[in-house]
């Protein structure tokens, strides 16, 4: 069954060094009050948008947009507490019977089971419940088509929906002006991750694991380099157990990998590591595994099937990137950019 990537949730609360620039973003709540950005927004954007990217076309989606999740799981009678509980239970045990999105399951399949802290899921669900969620440009037409077929009636009238009016433009495409160095680094990492993930997962869904391995071999570096050019930054993915020897972490990066391993092992949310010179910022952030990653990075003849492993050994004779379990640090983003 093809894999649905539901909003899978991991990463960072805002924070930065005293020497970095800071900005407080505001969101409008249901009663019209302004508040500082909810931490759940950043958590949702960090990993959910890799597969639930609201900027993707309808044809290229590999999971439903988050606004669709809200529409199907929140009604006028849904309380915040029940919604949070339902999301926590779903993440612990995703299954076809318990899903409220049969159309999405039919198209994408059921999401993989992946361990995440209850507090992280709580923050994500809390934000989704109270705030408008960015929707793709094609979503309104999709809703109208569903209504025309008698689907989706009575859905999506919960708090903060507004039917997507004024929400088509990307909320996450924030101008760099005023962003802290931590936020800039995270923006570069997540955008690159989304670009790689969109192409990799699309290939895996349509053509299988072997094709995904071949895709990485040919396209991963060019895609990463293109994002480096886009952001005028040096963007790298490095590891202590690289598949490609060119991704071997240096001594400083190896220390940061060990730091992040300890954080994730203790079930804590990782925060980026920043280092600065007079003109440069060095940003480091972990790359962690989920069950989908194990199809290429798990144990041979277990999660990693024999044909895929054979292809990996042929393309990467010195491969070390196997034997992982879910929620482990496989490497880090190592990004260097100029101070503005």
Closest of 46, 29, 100 to residue 68, by C-alpha = 100
Asked if residue 44 is part of any domain, the answer here is yes
pLDDT tens string 78-96: 999 999 999 988 888 888 8
Kindly calculate the radius of gyration of the chain based on its CA atoms and give it in whole angstroms: 20
Task: Report how many domains make up the chain.
Answer: 2
**Averaged over 21-31, what is the pLDDT?**
40
User: Where is the domain boundary, 124, 139, 164?
Assistant: 164
User: Is the same domain home to 145 and 212?
Assistant: no
User: Is the same domain home to 59 and 111?
Assistant: yes
Asked if residue 18 is part of any domain, the answer here is no
User: Is the same domain home to 95 and 132?
Assistant: yes
Q: What's the rounded Cα separation, in Å, for the pair 172 and 180?
A: 15
Asked if residue 280 is part of any domain, the answer here is yes
pLDDT tens string 149-180: 554 444 444 444 433 433 333 333 345 667 88
pLDDT tens string 270-325: 889 999 999 999 999 999 987 778 889 999 999 899 999 999 999 999 999 999 99
pTM over 0.75: no
Q: What's the rounded Cα separation, in Å, for the pair 2 and 306?
A: 19
Closest of 237, 212, 214 to residue 224, by C-alpha = 237
User: Is the same domain home to 115 and 35?
Assistant: yes
User: Is the same domain home to 252 and 298?
Assistant: yes
User: Where is the domain boundary, 164, 193, 214?
Assistant: 164
**Residue 245 pLDDT:** 95
By residue range, what is the domain housing residue 185?
A: 181-338
CATH code assigned at 80:
1.10.760
User: Is the same domain home to 218 and 271?
Assistant: yes
Asked if residue 16 is part of any domain, the answer here is no
User: Is the same domain home to 144 and 189?
Assistant: no
User: Where is the domain boundary, 131, 164, 197?
Assistant: 164
User: Is the same domain home to 140 and 275?
Assistant: no
- What the block records as the tokens of 217 is 């071999």
């Amino acid at each position: 069954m093809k894999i649905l990537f539901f909003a899978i949730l991991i990463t960072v609360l805002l924070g930065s060094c005293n020497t970095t620039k800071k900005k407080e973003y505001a969101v409008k709540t249901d009663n019209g009050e302004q508040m500082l950005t909810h931490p759940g927004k950043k958590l949702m954007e960090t990993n959910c948008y890799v597969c639930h990217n609201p900027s993707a076309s309808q044809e290229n989606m590999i999971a439903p947009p988050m606004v669709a999740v809200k529409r199907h799981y929140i009604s006028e009678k849904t309380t915040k507490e029940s919604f949070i509980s339902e999301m926590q239970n779903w993440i612990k045990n995703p299954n076809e019977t318990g899903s409220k999105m049969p159309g999405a399951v039919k198209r994408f399949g059921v999401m993989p089971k992946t361990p995440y802290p209850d507090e992280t899921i709580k923050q994500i669900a809390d934000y989704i419940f109270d705030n408008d969620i960015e929707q793709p440009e094609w979503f309104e037409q999709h809703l109208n088509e569903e209504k025309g077929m008698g689907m989706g009636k009575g859905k999506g009238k919960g708090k903060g929906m507004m039917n997507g009016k004024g929400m088509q433009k990307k909320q996450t495409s924030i101008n760099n002006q005023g962003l802290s160095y931590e936020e800039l680094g995270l923006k570069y990492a997540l955008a690159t991750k989304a670009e790689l993930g969109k192409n990799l997962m699309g290939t895996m869904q349509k053509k299988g694991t072997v094709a995904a391995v071949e895709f990485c071999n040919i396209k991963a570096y060019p895609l990463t380099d293109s994002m480096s050019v886009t952001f005028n930054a040096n963007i790298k993915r490095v590891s202590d157990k690289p598949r490609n020897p060119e991704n071997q972490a240096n001594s400083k990066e190896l220390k940061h990998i060990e730091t992040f391993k300890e954080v994730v092992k203790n079930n804590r949310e990782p925060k980026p590591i920043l280092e600065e010179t007079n003109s440069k910022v060095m940003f480091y952030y972990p790359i962690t595994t989920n069950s989908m990653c194990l199809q290429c990075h798990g144990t041979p003849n277990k999660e990693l099937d024999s044909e895929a492993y054979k292809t990996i050994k042929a393309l990467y004779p010195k491969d070390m990137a196997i034997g992982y379990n879910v929620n482990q640090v496989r490497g880090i983003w190592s990004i260097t950019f100029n101070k503005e």
